[in-house]
Amino acid sequence: MKKIIILILLTSFTSFAQKRELGKVTVEELSEKVCPADSSAAAAVLFDIGEVRFEYLEGRGFVMKTRVRTKIKIYKKEGYDWANKSVRYYIGGNTKERVNFRDAVTYNLVDGKIEKTKLKSEGEFDEKLSKFWGRKKIAMPNVKEGSIIEYEYTLESESIGVLEDWAFQSSIPVVYSQFKTVIPEYYVYKPLMRGFLVPKYESNSTTKIINTTSKERSEGRVTTTGFSNDQFSYSEITSTYTIENVPALKDESFVNNIKNYTCSIEHELNSIQYPNQPMKNLSSDWENVVKSIYENDSFGPELNKTGYYEEDLKTVLAGAATPEEKIASIFNFVKSRMNWNDFYGYGCDVGVRKAYLDKVGNVAEINLMLTSMFRHAGFEANPVVLSTRGNGISLFPSRTAFDYVISGVELNGKVFLFDATNKYSLPNILPIRDLNWFGRLIRKDGTSTQIDLMPKFNSKEVVNIMAQINAEGQVTGKVRSQYFDYNAFSYRDRNSGINNESIVERIEKRSQGLEVSDYDMQNRSDLSKPVVENYAFTTEKNVEIIGDKMYISPFLFFTLDENPFKQETREYPVDFVFPNQDKYLISLTMPEGYIVETLPQPKAIGLPDDLANFKYNISNNGTQLQLIYSLDINSAIINPDYYDALKSFFKELVNKQTEKIVLKKA
């Protein structure tokens, strides 16, 4: 099947693939109504060409310039978003970046002729995202179904540590994508590939000659200025990565971050060696990476500062006797005192001392402060750097692989993880953004250990329903739901700052026709206990009366009526975020004058290697029907090798949940 798809793609877009210059738009291209390779595509990238080149500027040294040229065909209204483009750039510190758009044009076919609309100043926006980052955006004009949009932008940077990531693949088809780097011999970058596709690679070396002018002043009776011309040469290594006819990357259910599986390349500076100077290694393995992180002024030295909290810490620990009590007291103190400013990163911004005084800080300031307090109290505590779910999986040794830091305490042969940026987190109950495979614990001597961030215990959700069915098919009753561990954390976090009325509206909106009353939530703030949710309900949507028979959906408005896994095949792991158990205890009182005609049969089914299982049993004691159901997902991440089995497993689960109880009049 894959060979057939590739053949179709190779024969599609033939005319498009041959025109890779801006301004070369044809009537044929504009007349295209449907993407030949994918009729469902709302748009397609006709070409996307990027080049990173280093230019030597006298007095400034090497400056990195990125140039990108893009041409996109819009097929449907759903593709209009592809007519907008934004580029982030760095504005903090001394190494600012600059972004410029040019040649931004929309083409349309009007009465058989090509109409050209240029981007005007009102379609270009520049905004400040934070003290470190800005973003320049364009919104292309006169975009319609059938339009072709083109633009070029350049990004100039004096920071040469990291090249911008380049994605060859997208959520729409890509006809042609090329990425080229032209790098002086002084800098060695490590290319890191992601995804399942492999671009074609070519490389060559040429000699670059640079002429410079130096100025000299001589002092005497008359001051004179002399100029001299110098020349130096070096090798430039050109690397070109090209791929054609790339199918759209379809996002699927239960994927943590599609970026992890997108065909893309990133480069990180591995070493620098200038003429007549020793080589400077920056990152080659995890030990070098974490050592460079730890020695950074915004990281390791911040852990050693203690004077700003010592007196407060004495008070915090005054009533704590056991190690567990001391750890809990410190953790709760930092959580309650500090407020996260939503800035990520493993480096401090204003520093731990000022953040403590202001009671506001970024991730590093809060969690390095926490680690320092743990250490000061005598615990073996160390920072754990990680990559958040939104940043992707840290597969390769790289300083930019991480964008976050938490705290780890080694106690009784185990490592307990803490993140004080969220008020609802607990030891080993981290914010969901942290649950991204592995992190690295960095010790004082600069060595590191890989830390598994994924929970190994099942977080439970237990639902009890007591309901009555009347002769008209109306169901009334009460629900009691209990949320434990990560389910409790997610519930508290999701409903933080939301009143009960809004929660009721959300429940009713999720289940059309449901009326909720007497809503009550317990243990919203008491993190030592599960969240308990109680409410009464009325619904008429879960019972159907045909003649003298009544057909009942026993799961009522909790029924899972659709298999979340629809793809024929799957290349990505299935990510359930954390292992969990759903348990339902449902009691339904039958209406007078009805008896049971048929009940669903008991069933138990499991996945290989005990990755998941469910059990279903329903019984009749005369006037009441009792349903006991449990679903256990025992692994947060399930390998795609198990996808067929998982898909069949959920098919059986859905079939069982949607199976009806049939009552008939006595």
Summarised one tens digit per residue, pLDDT across range 15-39 is 444 568 999 999 999 999 999 999 9
Q: What is the pLDDT of residue 498?
A: 94
Q: What is the pLDDT of residue 2?
A: 41
Q: What is the pLDDT of residue 158?
A: 86
pLDDT at residue 8 above 80?
Answer: no
* Radius of gyration of the CA atoms of the chain, in A: 31
CB crowding 434-446: b at 16 or more within 10 Å, else e: bbbbebbbbeeee
Amino acid at 497: G
% the chain with pLDDT above 90: 76
546/355 Cα distance (integer angstroms): 67
pLDDT at residue 13 above 50?
Answer: no
Q: Which two tokens stand for residue 165?
A: 């990531």
Average pLDDT on 402-416 reads 96
Residue among 193, 131, 191, 155 nearest 345 (CA): 131
Q: What is the pLDDT of residue 214?
A: 63
Reading phi first (left if > 0) and then psi (alpha if -120 to 50, else beta), residue 482 is in: beta
pLDDT at residue 4 above 60?
Answer: no
31/114 Cα distance (integer angstroms): 10
Q: What is the pLDDT of residue 228?
A: 61
The single residue listed with the structure tokens 């970058």 is 189
Same fold, 2-185+238-255 and 459-665: no
- Please state which CATH number belongs to domain 2-185+238-255: 2.60.40.3140
Q: Which fold has domain 459-665?
A: Jelly Rolls (2.60.120)
Q: Apex CA 204: angle with CA 203 and CA 209, to 5°?
A: 140
Q: Report yes or no: 579 and 460 within 8 Å, Cβ to Cβ.
A: no
Torsion angles phi and psi, residue 548, rounded to 5? -100, 15
Q: Report yes or no: 479 and 584 within 8 Å, Cβ to Cβ.
A: no
399/193 Cα distance (integer angstroms): 16
3-state helix, strand, coil in the chain (%, to 5): 20, 40, 35
pLDDT at residue 3 above 60?
Answer: no
DSSP state of 659: P
The single residue listed with the structure tokens 């004179």 is 224
* pLDDT class of 225 with cuts at 50, 70, 90: low
Q: Which residue has the higher pLDDT, 9 or 263?
A: 263
DSSP state of 458: P
Q: What is the pLDDT of residue 192?
A: 87
Q: What is the pLDDT of residue 316?
A: 97
Average pLDDT on 215-239 reads 70
Q: Which two tokens stand for residue 298?
A: 């915004």
Average pLDDT of the chain to the nearest whole number: 91
* pLDDT class of 217 with cuts at 50, 70, 90: low
Q: What is the pLDDT of residue 7?
A: 40
Q: Tell me the DSSP string of 543-578.
A: EEEETTEEEE-TTGGG---S-S---SS--SPEE-SS
Torsion angles phi and psi, residue 13, rounded to 5? 60, 25
Average pLDDT on 252-264 reads 88
* pLDDT class of 215 with cuts at 50, 70, 90: low
Q: What is the pLDDT of residue 17?
A: 41
* pLDDT class of 224 with cuts at 50, 70, 90: low
Average pLDDT on 185-190 reads 92
Residues 480-490: pLDDT tens digits? 999 999 999 99
Residue among 250, 247, 244 nearest 2 (CA): 247
Amino acid at 550: M
pLDDT at residue 345 above 70?
Answer: yes
**Hey, CA dihedral for 269, 270, 274, 280, is it positive or negative?**
positive
DSSP state of 131: S
- Between 138-152, 263-277, 327-341, 456-470, the lowest mean confidence (pLDDT) is in 263-277
Q: Report yes or no: 299 and 232 within 8 Å, Cβ to Cβ.
A: no
- Between 4-13, 186-195, 432-441, 588-597, the lowest mean confidence (pLDDT) is in 4-13
* pLDDT class of 239 with cuts at 50, 70, 90: very high
Other beta carbons within 10 Å of 313 = 17
DSSP state of 141: S
Q: Which residue has the higher pLDDT, 6 or 188?
A: 188
Q: Report yes or no: 455 and 578 within 8 Å, Cβ to Cβ.
A: yes
User: Domain boundaries in the chain?
Assistant: 2-185+238-255, 287-452, 459-665
The CA–CA distances, whole Å, from 547 to 588, 625, 665 equal: 21, 22, 9
pLDDT at residue 519 above 60?
Answer: yes
308/353 Cα distance (integer angstroms): 6
* pLDDT class of 96 with cuts at 50, 70, 90: confident
The CA–CA distances, whole Å, from 222 to 122, 217, 218, 219, 639 equal: 56, 10, 8, 7, 80
pLDDT at residue 534 above 50?
Answer: yes
Q: What is the pLDDT of residue 183?
A: 96
Average pLDDT on 502-519 reads 94
Q: Which residue has the higher pLDDT, 284 or 356?
A: 356
pLDDT at residue 266 above 50?
Answer: yes
Q: Which residue has the higher pLDDT, 391 or 534?
A: 534
- Between 154-168, 178-192, 306-320, 502-516, the lowest mean confidence (pLDDT) is in 154-168
Residues 366-379: pLDDT tens digits? 999 999 999 999 99
Residues 600-629: pLDDT tens digits? 999 999 999 999 999 999 999 989 999 999
Q: What is the pLDDT of residue 446?
A: 79
- Between 53-62, 111-120, 167-176, 394-403, the lowest mean confidence (pLDDT) is in 394-403
* pLDDT class of 281 with cuts at 50, 70, 90: confident
**Domain 287-452 sits in CATH 3.10.620.30:** yes
**Hey, CA dihedral for 411, 412, 415, 419, is it positive or negative?**
negative
Q: What is the pLDDT of residue 90?
A: 86
Residue among 618, 654, 594 nearest 468 (CA): 594
pLDDT at residue 218 above 70?
Answer: no
